[in-house]
Amino acid sequence: MYVVVGLGNPGKEYAATRHNIGFIFLDYLAEKYRFVFKGTKWQAEAAKDLSWGYPVLFVKPQTYMNRSGVAVRAIADFYQVELSRIIVIHDDLDLPLGRTKIMLNRGAGGHNGIRSLIEHLGGNDFVRVRVGIGRPDNAERVSDFVLSRFAQDEAEMVREELERIETGVRLIMEEGVSAAMNRVNSEQL
C-alpha cells in the first residue's frame, strides 16, 4: 500500500490557499474518483481507494502544517508503511506556479511541514512532489503570500497542474521514482 499525503492546514479559512495545494490535490482526486475523507484517530482525514488498481491511503493531516509529521508517523506505524511508500504533495515557493518536481532524499528546504515529517519519521526517504506556487513579487511577507488564495488566472493554471501531479504520483507507483522524476521533472522545462 502507498500512502499519499497532501500537506495543508485544516479549516475553511485555509481551504483554497497556496499553502494548501496538497489538500487541493487530494480533494481533486476525491471528486474525480468519488471517495470520501473521514476523520481518524491519527489526527488526520483519510480515505482508502482502489481506483488505480491497488490500495492507496490518501491522507490530509489535521495537525496544521508545522506538525504534519505527528499524524503521518502514527499512520505509518499503524499500517507498517516503509518511508519509500509515502508520497508527500506540498507547496514550494522556489518553483514557479505551474511547475512540479519530484524529489527523493532531500532536506526540508525551509518548509516547516517537511521538517516535521523528517523529524517524526526519522528520515527523509519519502518521496516529495513539490508543487510550485511562486514567490511574492513585491514586499509582501512570505507568510502572508502562502496563506493567500490563488488569483482567478492562477486558479486555471492550478487546475491544469493537478492532472500533471496525478500523472506523476501514478508514475511513482507504477514505474518507480526514477522514471517519474525523469518524465515529470524534464517535461516542464
Domain locations along the chain: 2-187
List, by residue number, the catalytic residues.
19
pLDDT tens, residue by residue, 45-82: 999 999 999 999 999 999 999 999 999 999 999 999 99
pLDDT reported for residue 189: 47
Residues of the chain scoring pLDDT < 70: 188-189
Query: Is 2-187 a CATH 3.40.50.2300 domain?
Result: no
Give the model's pLDDT for residue 188: 61
pTM of the complete model: 0.95
What percentage of the chain has pLDDT greater than the value 90?
Answer: 91
HSE-CB for 96 with a 13 A CA cutoff: 5
